[in-house]
Amino acid sequence: MNNLKAFSLVAGILLSISGSISQAQVEEVIYNQTEDGEVTRNIISGVRGMRGMRGMRGMRGIRGGCWDIQSNFALRLLVPKRTGKTVDAQPTLYWSISESLENADFTFIIDKTPEKLTEFSETPLFKDSFHLKSVKSGIHTLPLSNYNLNLEKNVEYEWSISLICDQDNPSLNISAISTIERVDAPYILLSANNNQDMAALYAKHGYWYNALDILSEQIKVNSLVHKVRANLLRQVGLPEVAVYDM
């Protein structure tokens, strides 16, 4: 099968998806701290263009990659509204930025989802800070295999990426947060004949991280799959990120 036919097959499957992923809506997560120190988590749903980003409060342009960012800058996680599922112990996480940055500092945190959140937890399951001398706008990856980090089954985790603008004033940082859960693979996946079928089946049954990862790997050998991934991103309310695939 040539590349054009292969693309048509996958596109036709994904365009017909009407499962849990395609029904996902946009949400923004905001933390508020009360006078007694308790931190609450508020979710605003159905606001397109705000997904997976938290705007800076206060001054802009104070550190590294934040020095001259545009007012509409967005840091987004490539995730559905509800907790995305994966069958992998070490899945690859995907995120994006809306414009290129120089000398940018980021922090990646992953932890088991707590019943009561504290904004400045000193002991998350894993925390890593990394510096990027130059990072282009578009989609980026964060493989958990790089950290030798394994997710337990049937445990919900929160993960976040922050662009650090002020180490001493976290409220000025730009952060995005979402959740992930590792579960057993459904029996239906055993009937898949190839990666093209598996991407569609994973997506249809809500295994977001696997569907996205399979398509992203296919892009490396077939650039036409960019359009398929763009369609999947649009289905979960990420049209701004889909632009990079088009």
Say what the pTM is: 0.74
* Count of CA atoms in the C-beta half-sphere (13 A) of 118: 7
pLDDT at 177: 94
Give the closest residue to 174 by CA, choosing from 37, 58, 33, 41: 58
pLDDT at 196: 63
pLDDT at 197: 75
pLDDT at 71: 84
pLDDT at 114: 73
Angle at 226 between CA 221 and CA 231, to 5 degrees: 145
pLDDT at 30: 37
Give the closest residue to 73 by CA, choosing from 232, 244, 240: 240
Pairing of strands 92-97, 75-77: antiparallel
pLDDT at 186: 76
Whole-number Cα distances in Å, 29 to 13, 81, 142, 161, 240: 32, 11, 21, 13, 18
pLDDT at 195: 66
Cβ-proximal residues to 37 (8 Å cutoff; 6+ apart), any chain: none
Domain ranges of the chain: 3-245
Distance of CA 134 to the CA centre of its chain: 20
pLDDT at 34: 43
Decide: 196 and 6 in contact? Cβ < 8 Å. yes
Dist CA 49 CA 229 (whole Å): 18
pLDDT at 157: 94
Question: Could you say which of 2.60.40.10, 3.20.20.70, 3.40.50.1100, 3.40.190.80 is the CATH number of the domain covering 3-245?
Answer: 2.60.40.10
Ordered mean pLDDT values, 10 residues apiece, the chain (246 residues): 41 41 38 42 31 39 68 93 94 96 94 63 84 94 95 95 88 92 83 72 90 94 93 93 90
pLDDT at 47: 26
